[in-house]
Structure 1
Amino acid sequence: MSSELIMLAAGDAEVGLAPGNGGRVAGLRVGGVELLRQGERFGCFPMVPWCGRVRDGRFRDGGSVRQMPLNAPPHAIHGTTREAAWRVASHGATEAVLTYDLVDPWPYPGRVTQAFTLTPDSLTLTMSVEAYDSSFPAQIGWHPWFNRNLDGGGADADADADVRIDFTPAWQEERGADHLPTGNRVDPEPGPWDDCFGMPDGVDVTLTWPERLELKVASREEWVVVYDEQAEAVCVEPQTGPPNGLNTHPRLVTPIDPLEATTTWSWRRL
């Protein structure tokens, strides 16, 4: 796994991309302050060609049942690309494009493209999935790990400086004992969360580090998973369908109809 980063910069914002480590955003610094949890598993990784867990690693495509590796037993989780090496298609001062050709264990040939655009006060991530010949179901999503505390966390961190998550979902997907949606929609419940929410007017979640920074996660997609059960970081994950969506909300990608999604993170100083 290559640790080489490619860097984008605009104003006092800096982004490090790790093509060799899942095509992830390895870091986002604003005014010298790192917003993403550091480590080879963290930053912000793409979830593709599915998001979250797939029940028992199986999904149906027409008359065929496909089996994915159980990397979160008894389920498969977060797609097949987050530990793979991506290719750098282009790289400028404020923009970059990475690509990945879908290979085994994903049973269908295709290509994933990620585009990154940085401005002094925003980062836009766009991802698309193309099918070469056979059509297939797919999902797109992003899994950012935002630092809970911008002062480094730990025992000495000021809990009053921890991030606050604000959003107004229309519903919450009821979560079963297996961490998968049951298919029932319930009124949103208070956290802590490892849950999927519906926002039919588009994802709109605000993270506020008191007296430091406000960051808005926005997307035209209507699904977002919020995970805040870890002490070090919180996750706000826009995606094109809920967990297990290859089975419950399949979106067919065809050679003439790719799947594309975009999320923008915008920030301002407080």
Structure 2
Amino acid sequence: MSSSEESVRLAAGDVELTVHPQNGCRVASLVIGGTEVLRQGERYGSFPMVPWCGRVGDGRFRNGDVVHQLPLNSPPHAIHGTGRDVAWRTARAGKDEAAFTFELAEPWPYTGRVTQTFELTEDSLTLTMGVETYDTSFPAQAGWHPWFLRTLGGQDVRIDFTAAWQEERGEDHLPTGHRIPPQPSPWDDCFGMPDGVLVTLTWPEQLELTVASRSEWVVVYDEQDEAVCVEPQSGPPNGLDSDPRFVTPIDPLEMATTWSWRRL
């Protein structure tokens, strides 16, 4: 493990993970056996989505009788939370594990703390996230937005999963509230997996990587040539209103995902 203000590097066997706490505590790099698996660039890698995931319609959500307006960073909506835009504090950094925190603040209307941890082994990465409030209860979500390279070693990725349903997506890119049978690719869509998220990425003759989570929600995005995204999250897009999960002083939000891999 080596660390500086700009980066924290974890290692296990021939696997190396680099986290940039100053750039939204994103995974900047995941190298498995000498092969980078994440798209590079300050906007890419894999970033945390917190305290909401995906789009919030018109940037507005309700907490009881109070309506809040978020900045429209993806007009006409607010997207992917504030955690990716702030510097996180390194709470702990060891050889193969680390923990980071940041304080919720404007433009999010409530105070609280977010914690993110990383645990690396030779064949897996486990990420956890927790959201807690200091006083007022509020709806929140947590998840991850990895940008996996579409091509490794000249081989295009294959995405395999079995979902119980797909959230119908309206022209405004928000779920309509209807559930439909899963549709074929291309996707920028949310799927429901009541038994837990399980999505396998296979680069033939290169690598098989599985994204798993006990959560039942995942967004799959494959509309770009450079990368594909498999985003486990604690609720659906626009879920602050449609499917709110409240963080209370005695009930924090906890979310986890494990990426596991094997060489082919």
Q: Could you tell me which of 226, 229, 233 is aligned with 2:220?
A: 226
Partner of 2:84: helix, strand, or coil?
coil
For residues 253 and 76 of structure 1, what CA distance do their matches in structure 2 show? 20
How far did residue 3 of structure 1 move? 7.8
Instruction: Quote the residue 1:179 is aligned against.
Output: 173
Matched, 1:17 2:11: no
Instruction: Quote the residue 1:200 is aligned against.
Output: 194
Q: What are the superposed Cα offsets for residues 46-75 of structure 1, whole Å, 9 maximum, x if unpaired?
A: 000000000000000001000000000000
Q: Could you tell me which of 210, 215, 218 is aligned with 2:204?
A: 210
For residues 24 and 223 of structure 1, what CA distance do their matches in structure 2 show? 21
Instruction: Quote the residue 1:252 is aligned against.
Output: 246
How far did residue 43 of structure 1 move? 0.4
Change (3 A) 1:188 1:3: farther
Partner of 1:246: helix, strand, or coil?
helix
Change (3 A) 1:121 1:252: same
Change (3 A) 1:69 1:35: same
Structure 1 residues not aligned, in runs of 5+: 152-157
Instruction: Quote the residue 2:164 is aligned against.
Output: 170
Count of residue pairs the alignment pairs up:
261
Q: How does 1:1-270 map onto structure 2 within 5 Å?
A: 4-151=6-153, 158=154, 161-270=155-264
For residues 189 and 83 of structure 2, what CA distance do their matches in structure 1 show? 22
Partner of 1:190: helix, strand, or coil?
coil
Question: 142-151 or 53-62, which moves further after superposition?
Answer: 142-151
Structure 2 residues not aligned, in runs of 5+: none
CA contact (8 A) 1:3 1:21 kept: no
For residues 230 and 83 of structure 1, what CA distance do their matches in structure 2 show? 22
Sequence identity, in percent?
73
Q: For the aligned residues, what is the CA RMSD? A: 0.9
Partner of 1:113: helix, strand, or coil?
strand
The TM-score normalised by the length of structure 2 is 0.98
For residues 213 and 70 of structure 1, what CA distance do their matches in structure 2 show? 38
Q: What are the superposed Cα offsets for residues 147-193 of structure 1, whole Å, 9 maximum, x if unpaired?
A: 00124xxxxxx4xx100000000000000001110000000000000
Greater than 3 Å deviation, 4+ residue runs: none
Change (3 A) 1:212 1:3: farther
